[in-house]
Structure 1
Amino acid sequence: MPGRHQSSFSYGRYAGGPDPLAPPVDLAEALDAIADDVMSGYSPEQAMREFLRRGGRNRQGLDDLAGRVQQRRRDLLQRHRLGGTLDQVKELLDAAVLEERKQLVRDAMMDNTDRAFREMRMENLPSSTAAAVSELADYDWQSQEARQMYEQIKDLLGREMLDQRFAGMKQAMENATAEDRAAIAQMLADLNDLLEKHARGEDTPEDFERFMAEHGDAFPENPQNVDELIDALARRSAAAQRMLRSMSAEQREELMALSAQAFGSPELMAQLDRLDASLQSLRPGEDWTGSERFEGQEGLGLGDGTGVLQDIAELDSLAEQLSQSYAGSTLSDVDVESLARQLGDEAAVSARTLAELERAMRESGYLRRGADGDLQLSPKAMRRLGKSLLQDAAGRLSGRQGRRDTRLAGAAGEATGSTRAWQFGDIEPWDVGRTVTNAIGRVVSEGRDPAGGIRLDVRDVEVRETEARTQAAVALLVDTSFSMAAEGRWVPMKRTALALHHLVSTRFRGDRLQLVTFGRYAQRRDIGELTALSAMREQGTNLHHGLTLATRFFRQHPTMQPVLLVVTDGEPTAHLVGNGQAWFSWPPEPETVRATVAELDRVGRLGAEVTFFRLGDDPGLERFLQSMAHRVDGRVVSPDPADLGAAVVGEFLRHRYPGTGSTFGDVEWE
């Protein structure tokens, strides 16, 4: 429509950087992977590093990026060889000599003696290219084409020498005039004066600004101060030195001899030598002495070769950054711009994503610093993991994915059909109908129209009353003898404890749970300690000590129903003696068995409901646990380690809801 303002939009191709449409980083996946490694014995810091190295679903890790960096480095060395400039000079020299000989043959007017002298000079040129070029420095060329080719040699050498120190100078100086060369000579002189003044501490920002105003076109890096200028020049100059050291001794000698012919001006090399000396003094930390072994067939000129050596230095720096092996390293250290240059935008996006993941993990509250300064899984992380593991156990108990185990939902007891006002600490479900009715009545009583909207108030909430439920004191005893780790049962054991801990702490808040580990000795553990517990290479299965701690725990809660759950993969091979020390013997001694049975009888007299979870197929353990369960009217469950969590949760629920039985069909009940 005429006169109406119209906006126009243009859309371009995505040009790298963080993907604005990418989903947020998946902390759940990272936390699950980190937790598995922690439960396997890694510290949280190590576990996070391992996850970042491995990467996640559809995401490259640090190892993938580091492998690509190393492959890129190998490709550069295997594809290229040095000496490309020497090859070009030799080709130009051979062509010039050939053209001169042709001209000598064609020139019938030339004096025979002079022709013979010139032909002899062409025939007797040194085999060394550098020496031949030097030999012909004062030669009066008869062929105009040959003269031009010889001048091209000097021009090529000059441009290559400049390109070694200033990237892109070879192309910029092509077909340069005498005025252009004079401008370069002046730039070098001014640059050397600035650097030497800076080394003495006498330069000012105005000196740098004046220099850049006059010569800034020669520096595409666009340095913002003299230090950035020195950094850029030093990296390039150090790469040039490493290139020279990577050449054979013969190539270096040839090149040094040829350098005097650059632009036909020895002053150029004097200025470049002065520049190299200043840069090496100002930036001694650069690698000025390294070398590389090139094995390819693609010849490199001085400028291009220096660029490749710069690439290799950048790749080496990236490899160190990606290794994260130095003190205080974080993924924010990775130079994503360098990574994009060397491996492409996709690699840079992967590095940014990993850095964001690391930052998010540290700031999410899932990891925290302990008193010793080391990273630990936080209570928030433990709750998140416990919830995930409990959901997995519930899924296994339900018999198929997607079916909800309703026994996990109503942890407050059986509903009576009546309701009451909500009180602080109530965990009973809301009666939605009564709550909404209360809200409507309140709004009307306040003289407002309910059609205008209703906002619930805490005074409106009513909960469904439930019958009182017997509280339980639950002791989970887990075997931590070395066989548990050696047979792959260590992590399932920890996952089981975490799932049960989450269930009791969130759905059965009135219950009490005690976690006890028993190896050579038994010890009470909180869930954080157990989760981070490393496998111990000690022999001994001291169930006697574990039962002693369980008995003490039950007596501390005399009004609660005692529930004992024992996870083990071996017969008892240790017991406590009179002085509190553990006595170990394999095979089990009768005294160990008697002490263990006596402590179990004490548990039985307290009215505990007992379930043993047998891991492995040891016949001796099977017989022992069967007889132990028989003494206290308990039971034995033989789950696969992967199903241990579901088996323990199922047994706990069976004790809390007598008569429901187990719906976990893959467990062998004995």
Structure 2
Amino acid sequence: MTRGFHYGPWHDGPDPLAPPVDLREALEQLGRDVMDGSSPRSALEELLRRGTGDTAGLDELTRRLWERRARIQRRHNLDGTLSEVRALLDEALAAERTALFPDPSDDARFRETQLDALPPGTAAAVRELADYDWRSEQARQAYQRIRDKLGQELMESRFQGMKQALSDVTPEDAERIRRMIADLNDLLLSHLRGEDTTDKFDRFMAAHGDFFPENPRTVEELIDALAARAAAAQRMMNSMSAQQRAELSELMAAAFGDPRLADQVSTLDANLRALRPGEDWTSSARFRGQDPLGLGEGAQAMADLAELDALAEQLAQSYPGARLEDIDLEALSRQLGDDAGVDARRLSELERELRDQGLLERAADGSLHLSPKALRRLGETALSDVIGTLRSRRGERDTARAGAAGEPTGASRPWTFGDSEPWEVSRTVRNAVLRTASTGGDVRIDVSDVEVIETEQRARAAIALCVDTSWSMVQDGRWVPMKRTALALHHLVSTRFRSDELQLITFGRHASTVDIDELTAMEGVWEQGTNLHHALLLAGRHLRRNPDANPVVLVVTDGEPTAHLEPDGHAEFMYPTTPRTLSKTLTEVDALAKLGASVTVFMLGEDENLAKFVDMIARRGRGRVIHPDLDGLGAAVVGDYLGNRKPRH
């Protein structure tokens, strides 16, 4: 039996054809902001506000919301119903006078007098004409359209979509609407008294469910929908002038020619207000455009404004416990289009994936941190950039492999031009077999099949990377390049030279040893002092703990030493550099030289005094001075480290 497949439309859930969330760009932005001093939580919030390359952020979506809100208020005004009723009334009066003019009877003159004596207000004139016996059929129809128009607008203002359903209303339809509202008020009053209204709600929906296309499943859902619409209608009334409100309130008594209907709607509003006092029943909005809105359209405009305000609050994420899952995607798509809903969904997926993939973790105190996994990925990116710089500047490839020929690491890797390691024969042949298996031809080894044995040097190194964390590093834009350099070196050591011992040392007024996550998250603080003396003390302690390793001391700084450590642990600061600070710092350089280490200084900036000082270090300790630009700092540090990884003699 042949097994077939059935294809149908996709209705709900995640898009099965959507590409997976790409976290690389997001993590890069997060890492850059964290290294620039932001907390991981703030960095995540900033990422979501900015968005990514092809996804609009929360700020852009919010801007479009406020733009739409302003457009609604600039384009429209709220006198549409009054204007239409006035036009229909003028049409009815003109047609009636035309019919009366040729009639010489006293009755015709009396009727003309009645029309001339009508009050000037639209609502009062409509009320006066309620019992008038029209001579003109055209006038009678125009007046009936006034009643129908008022009924349609009144219903549309309380029941969304009702206006279209009432395009041709018969007296029976009007009576059915009145009975529906009466039954609805009875249901709401029972619910307000705390009675069990489950059965009554079911009977109500069975009788009047066609008035509610949203198909509420419970009385609470019904109340929610009705209260939101009624509150919008009330806010629209609040937004009118006092005269407009009075006119409309009086006109509503003529809806479908049945004053009882307006009374029932008034009772409905009171019931809903009692059941949902938390709805916004009191605010207003200013409309200043030329496009008139009817009563139902005005209520919808107010509902749109409320929905836009709610969406703006959701996008702001400023309330306790806010999550992107709180955003009403259907409402966002309704207001801004499907693309906006897609962007918001992508941002939500991005935030969820960052957490689910373990790139962000929550500490015991509730704060967010970049996880070790995230730091590894940031290190990979930083090291990849460094390798690219090294290759482009020097044409070397030694940073792409585990080391010069020596002891095998047990792993292999694809051959690249310039490699001199021995082939890993079994994997090379296996690659060739797999490549040619589908063709059925002879197995021939191609250069793409070749893998070489990964080796590492026998030498082991102890590295002290001392980085300046004084305020000038932040002020002059050297903060993030310094951290990326440390990340790259840390990742290289931890993944390719695991036997090496790397110590990260920061120095401002004091020096301290830090882990890579501490350095990455470190914020720049205003602090006077560049205590290289203390940093070199800690570097010497690290080298002495690893006497069998090649000593490597790397210093990244943008200023001459202006502080030193006294025997009691107090950091003495003085600017400009004092002879005592200079002497104590150079003493530590000499001590490191006795351990076999030379100090390589990576000088940032153009400070003359710093240049003189680092030249002095180079002469005293057989060290080197490297003056890289910020883009080349990582390559300079990593390259110097690799150059110093040679066996000691």
What is the TM-score normalised by the length of structure 1?
Answer: 0.88
Matched residues in 1 for 2:624 and 2:265: separation? 88
Corresponding position of 2:43: 47
Matched residues in 1 for 2:239 and 2:409: separation? 86
Corresponding position of 1:189: 182
Contact kept? 2:423, 2:453, Cα under 8 Å:
yes
Question: Are residues 1:524 and 2:516 paired?
Answer: no
Question: What is the CA-CA distance between 1:473 and the residue it aligns to?
Answer: 0.7
Question: What is the CA-CA distance between 1:523 and the residue it aligns to?
Answer: 0.8
Could you report, residue by residue, the CA deviation over 1:214-238 in whole angstroms, capped at 9, with x for unpaired residues? Answer: 1011001111111111111111011
Corresponding position of 2:76: 80
Matched residues in 1 for 2:51 and 2:397: separation? 36
- SS at 2:554 equivalent: strand
- SS at 2:555 equivalent: strand
Letter in 2 for 1:371: A
Question: What is the CA-CA distance between 1:125 and the residue it aligns to?
Answer: 2.3
Which of 539, 542, 550 lines up with 2:528 in the alignment? 539
Corresponding position of 2:165: 172
Question: What is the CA-CA distance between 1:50 and the residue it aligns to?
Answer: 0.8
Matched residues in 2 for 1:420 and 1:589: separation? 50
Corresponding position of 1:653: 642
Which of 473, 476, 500 lines up with 2:465 in the alignment? 476
Question: What is the CA-CA distance between 1:370 and the residue it aligns to?
Answer: 1.5
Corresponding position of 1:596: 585
Corresponding position of 1:343: 336
Alpha carbons of structure 1 residues 102 and 364: separation in structure 2 relative to 1, 3 Å: same
Which of 260, 267, 272 lines up with 1:267 in the alignment? 260
Could you report, residue by residue, the CA deviation over 1:264-291 in whole angstroms, capped at 9, with x for unpaired residues? Answer: 2221111111111111111111111111
Contact kept? 1:575, 1:582, Cα under 8 Å:
yes
Corresponding position of 1:497: 486
Which of 128, 138, 141 lines up with 2:131 in the alignment? 138
Corresponding position of 1:414: 405
Question: What is the CA-CA distance between 1:171 and the residue it aligns to?
Answer: 2.1
Alpha carbons of structure 1 residues 195 and 584: separation in structure 2 relative to 1, 3 Å: same
Matched residues in 2 for 1:654 and 1:331: separation? 49
Matched residues in 2 for 1:639 and 1:176: separation? 83
Larger CA deviation: 320-329 vs 198-207: 198-207
Which of 289, 295, 313 lines up with 2:306 in the alignment? 313
Larger CA deviation: 404-413 vs 386-395: 404-413
- SS at 1:136 equivalent: helix
Letter in 2 for 1:62: L
Which of 43, 56, 60 lines up with 2:56 in the alignment? 60
Corresponding position of 1:448: none
Question: What is the CA-CA distance between 1:248 and the residue it aligns to?
Answer: 1.2
Question: What is the CA-CA distance between 1:15 and the residue it aligns to?
Answer: 9.1
Which of 265, 272, 278 lines up with 1:279 in the alignment? 272
Contact kept? 1:395, 1:405, Cα under 8 Å:
no
Alpha carbons of structure 1 residues 437 and 166: separation in structure 2 relative to 1, 3 Å: closer
Question: Are residues 1:609 and 2:598 paired?
Answer: yes
Contact kept? 1:81, 1:300, Cα under 8 Å:
yes
Corresponding position of 1:432: 424
Letter in 1 for 2:397: T
Contact kept? 1:394, 1:405, Cα under 8 Å:
no
1:555-594 superposed matches below 5 A:
555-594=544-583
- SS at 2:133 equivalent: coil
Matched residues in 2 for 1:28 and 1:51: separation? 13
1:141-156 superposed matches below 5 A:
141-156=134-149
- SS at 2:130 equivalent: coil
Alpha carbons of structure 1 residues 130 and 240: separation in structure 2 relative to 1, 3 Å: same
1:117-516 superposed matches below 5 A:
117-399=110-392, 405-411=396-402, 413-415=404-406, 432-433=424-425, 469-516=458-505
Contact kept? 1:576, 1:582, Cα under 8 Å:
yes
Matched residues in 1 for 2:173 and 2:290: separation? 34
Contact kept? 1:520, 1:574, Cα under 8 Å:
yes
Corresponding position of 1:69: 65
- SS at 1:261 equivalent: helix
Matched residues in 2 for 1:356 and 1:613: separation? 42
Corresponding position of 1:665: none
Alpha carbons of structure 1 residues 466 and 502: separation in structure 2 relative to 1, 3 Å: closer
Matched residues in 2 for 1:66 and 1:129: separation? 42
Contact kept? 2:406, 2:458, Cα under 8 Å:
no
Question: What is the CA-CA distance between 1:405 and the residue it aligns to?
Answer: 4.8
Corresponding position of 1:441: none
What is the TM-score normalised by the length of structure 2?
Answer: 0.91
- SS at 2:56 equivalent: coil
Alpha carbons of structure 1 residues 60 and 16: separation in structure 2 relative to 1, 3 Å: farther
Contact kept? 2:424, 2:453, Cα under 8 Å:
no
Question: What is the CA-CA distance between 1:86 and the residue it aligns to?
Answer: 0.3
Contact kept? 1:610, 1:632, Cα under 8 Å:
yes
Which of 82, 87, 93 lines up with 1:91 in the alignment? 87
Larger CA deviation: 563-572 vs 649-658: 649-658
Contact kept? 1:571, 1:624, Cα under 8 Å:
yes
Contact kept? 1:611, 1:634, Cα under 8 Å:
yes
Contact kept? 2:410, 2:454, Cα under 8 Å:
no
Matched residues in 1 for 2:2 and 2:22: separation? 44
| RMSD of aligned alpha carbons | 2.8
Could you report, residue by residue, the CA deviation over 1:550-571 in whole angstroms, capped at 9, with x for unpaired residues? Answer: 1111111111111100000001
Which structure 2 residue ranges, 5 or more long, are not aligned? Answer: 412-420, 431-439, 441-450
- SS at 2:577 equivalent: coil
Alpha carbons of structure 1 residues 5 and 469: separation in structure 2 relative to 1, 3 Å: closer
- SS at 2:55 equivalent: coil
Corresponding position of 1:551: 540
Question: What is the CA-CA distance between 1:410 and the residue it aligns to?
Answer: 3.7
Matched residues in 2 for 1:432 and 1:398: separation? 25
Question: Are residues 1:34 and 2:30 paired?
Answer: yes
Which structure 1 residue ranges, 5 or more long, are not aligned? Answer: 423-428, 439-450, 452-461, 660-670
Letter in 2 for 1:378: S
Number of matched pairs: 623
Contact kept? 2:209, 2:215, Cα under 8 Å:
yes
- SS at 2:101 equivalent: helix
Alpha carbons of structure 1 residues 357 and 6: separation in structure 2 relative to 1, 3 Å: closer
Which of 626, 630, 633 lines up with 2:619 in the alignment? 630
Percent identity of paired positions between Structure 1 and Structure 2: 55
Which of 98, 109, 116 lines up with 1:116 in the alignment? 109
Contact kept? 2:148, 2:255, Cα under 8 Å:
yes
Contact kept? 2:405, 2:455, Cα under 8 Å:
yes
Larger CA deviation: 287-296 vs 127-136: 127-136
Alpha carbons of structure 1 residues 437 and 132: separation in structure 2 relative to 1, 3 Å: closer
Contact kept? 1:16, 1:346, Cα under 8 Å:
no
Could you report, residue by residue, the CA deviation over 1:276-326 in whole angstroms, capped at 9, with x for unpaired residues? Answer: 111111111111111111111111000111111111111111111111111
Matched residues in 2 for 1:255 and 1:16: separation? 44
